[in-house]
C-alpha cells in the first residue's frame, strides 16, 4: 500500500472522501469505536517513542483545547494506546483487541496508517462518520506535542471567529481543525524562503515581550507551578493552563459572575484577579466542590430543582451560592436574591436557583 501522504516529500493530504479499503469486522469495529469516542476525533498513530511521555503542561493544554473544541484524541502506539474524550476527565484505554496485532492491521487498512520507523506518526482527523477529513505525517518543528497544542489552540480561535457562520458547530470545529492542521504542519516543513546571504548581519532577535514569572497556585488542594505573565487573570490561568474549564468566562469584566471561584474561602470574580496575586491561597473551583462522584449538596439541589436552562452560568451560580452559604447572611428569599445579584442568568432560571439555594439552607446539610 502506497498512500500519497507516505511518499517522500508529501507533507499534507486533505482527503475529503473516506478510504474504502477494508471492511472486515475489525475495521468496522475500529470505525464504530472511533465514531463513539466523540466527533471530531484526532487519531494519532505513532511509532514507539514518537509520542513518548509528553510534558505535563503541554498535555494539560492539549486536553483543555480538546475540551473547548469538543474533540477527542486517540493515540495509538505499539507500547500504549489511549483515548481522551472531551467529556471525561481521565484517559481511557483503547480496547485491546483493536490496539494489537490484527486490530492494528485493520486500522492500517481502514485509514492507511501504521506505526513504523519510516513514518514516525500519522495524524488523521475524523468526522462523526469516521470519515477522514485531513491527514498529515509531516514532522513538526516544535515537536509533535507542542505543534498539536498550537494547532488545537488555533482551531479554537478559528471556531470563535466563525461563530456567526451558519454551519453546525461540528462542521465549524472540523473546518477549523482542518485549516489549523494544514497551517501548522504544512508550514513547519516549508523550506526557508530566503536563506540568509553570507556576510549579512544576523537578523535582530524578536524583542522579548515575555515577562513570565513563576506563579504558584493552590487549586482544589493541588499545588501547581506555572510560568505566567503578570497580566494573566486567575480565570485564564485556570481555564487555559490548568484545563479547569468548569469556571466560565462570561463578560470578563466582573459583571456576570460566571467565573466565580472561592479564594481563601471567599467568593470572588476570577476574571478580575491577576493570577500572580492569587498565589499560595487556597482556590476552590467547581471541579473541587464535589467529592469524587458525590455531588456537593448545592450541585444536587441545582439538579433536583432544575435551576438552569443552558447551564453556562451554573458553575458560577453554584460557587457563588457556596460562598453565600459560608457567609450565613442570607436568611430569606429576598436576601438570597440580593446576595446572588453578582450572578446573571440569561435564561432567567432565577426562581429555581433561589429555590435550590433555599432548599440546601433548609435541609441543614453541612456544606
Partner 1 sequence: MKSFDYLPAQKLEEAVARGEPRTSRFIAGGTLLVDLMRLDVERPDLVVDLNGVLSSDIAWNEAGLTLGALARNTDVAYDDTVRREFPVLSEAILAGASPQIRNLATTGGNLLQRTRCAYFRDAAVPACNKRKPGSGCAALEGYTRMHAILGVSERCIAAHPSDMAVALLALDAAVHTRRATGERQIPLGDLHTLPGTTPELETVLEPGEVITRVVVPRSPRGRRSTYLKVRDRASFAFALSSAAVALELEQGTIRSARVALGGVGVKPWRAAATEAALVGRPATSETYRAAAKLATSGAKTTPDNAFKVPLTERVVARALERAGALA
**Which chain residues interact with partner 1 by CB under 8 A?**
209, 211, 213, 229-231, 233, 252-255, 257, 260, 266-269, 271-274, 276-277, 320, 323-324, 327, 329, 337-339, 341-343
Q: Which is nearer to partner 1, 49 or 230 (CB)?
A: 230
Shortest distance (Å) from residue 339 CB to partner 1: 5
Looking from the CA of 109 toward its CB, the CA atoms found within 13 Å total: 18
Shortest distance (Å) from residue 19 CB to partner 1: 46
Q: Which is nearer to partner 1, 329 or 331 (CB)?
A: 329
280 Cβ neighbours under 8 A, 6+ residues apart:
216, 218
Question: Closest Cα partner for 267 from 351, 336, 343, 352?
Answer: 343
Q: Which is nearer to partner 1, 27 or 268 (CB)?
A: 268
Shortest distance (Å) from residue 255 CB to partner 1: 8
Give CB contacts under 8 A, 24+ apart, made by 120-124: 120/46, 120/47, 120/50, 121/44, 121/45, 121/46, 121/47, 121/50, 121/51, 122/5, 122/44, 122/45, 122/46, 123/42, 123/43, 123/44, 123/148, 123/181, 123/185, 124/42, 124/43, 124/44, 124/45
Shortest distance (Å) from residue 275 CB to partner 1: 10
Shortest distance (Å) from residue 231 CB to partner 1: 5
Shortest distance (Å) from residue 358 CB to partner 1: 17
Q: Which is nearer to partner 1, 144 or 271 (CB)?
A: 271
Q: Which is nearer to partner 1, 83 or 354 (CB)?
A: 354
Q: Which is nearer to partner 1, 118 or 208 (CB)?
A: 208
What are the backbone angles phi and psi of residue 8, rounded to the nearest 5°?
-55, 140
Amino acid at each position: 500500500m502506497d498512500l500519497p501522504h507516505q511518499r517522500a516529500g508529501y507533507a499534507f493530504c486533505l482527503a475529503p472522501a473516506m478510504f474504502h479499503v477494508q471492511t472486515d469486522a475489525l475495521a468496522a469495529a475500529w470505525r464504530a469505536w472511533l465514531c463513539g469516542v466523540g466527533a471530531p476525533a484526532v487519531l494519532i498513530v505513532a511509532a514507539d517513542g514518537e509520542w513518548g511521555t509528553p510534558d505535563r503542561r503541554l498535555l494539560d493544554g492539549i486536553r483543555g483545547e480538546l475540551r473547548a473544541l469538543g474533540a477527542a484524541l486517540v493515540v495509538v502506539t505499539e507500547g500504549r494506546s489511549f483515548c481522551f474524550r472531551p467529556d471525561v476527565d481521565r484517559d481511557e484505554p483503547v480496547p485491546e483487541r483493536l490496539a494489537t496485532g490484527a486490530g492494528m492491521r485493520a486500522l492500517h487498512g481502514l485509514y492507511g496508517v501504521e506505526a513504523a520507523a519510516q513514518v514516525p506518526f500519522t495524524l488523521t482527523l475524523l468526522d462523526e462518520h469516521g470519515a477522514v477529513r485531513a491527514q498529515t505525517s509531516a514532522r513538526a518543528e516544535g515537536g509533535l506535542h507542542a505543534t498539536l497544542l498550537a494547532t488545537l489552540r488555533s482551531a479554537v480561535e478559528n471556531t470563535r471567529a466563525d461563530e456567526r457562520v451558519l454551519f453546525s458547530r461540528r462542521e465549524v470545529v472540523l473546518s477549523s481543525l482542518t485549516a489549523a492542521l494544514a497551517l501548522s504542519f504544512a508550514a513547519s516543513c516549508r523550506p526557508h524562503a530566503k536563506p540568509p546571504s553570507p556576510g549579512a548581519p544576523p537578523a535582530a532577535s524578536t524583542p522579548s515581550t515575555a515577562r513570565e514569572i513563576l506563579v504558584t497556585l493552590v487549586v482544589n488542594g493541588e499545588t501547581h507551578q506555572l510560568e505566567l505573565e503578570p497580566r494573566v487573570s486567575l480565570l485564564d490561568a485556570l481555564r487555559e493552563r490548568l484545563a479547569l474549564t468548569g469556571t466560565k468566562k462570561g463578560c470578563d469584566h466582573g459583571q456576570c459572575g460566571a467565573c466565580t471561584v472561592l479564594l481563601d474561602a471567599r467568593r470572588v470574580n476570577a476574571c478580575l484577579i491577576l493570577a500572580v496575586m492569587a498565589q499560595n491561597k487556597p482556590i476552590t473551583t467547581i471541579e473541587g466542590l464535589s467529592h469524587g462522584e458525590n455531588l456537593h449538596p448545592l450541585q444536587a439541589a441545582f439538579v433536583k430543582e432544575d435551576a438552569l436552562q443552558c447551564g453556562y452560568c451554573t458553575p458560577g451560580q453554584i460557587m457563588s451560592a457556596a460562598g453565600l452559604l459560608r457567609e450565613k447572611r442570607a436568611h430569606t428569599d429576598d436576601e438570597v436574591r440580593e446576595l446572588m445579584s453578582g450572578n446573571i442568568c440569561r435564561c432567567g432560571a432565577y426562581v429555581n436557583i433561589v429555590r435550590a439555594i433555599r432548599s440546601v439552607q433548609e435541609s441543614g446539610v453541612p456544606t
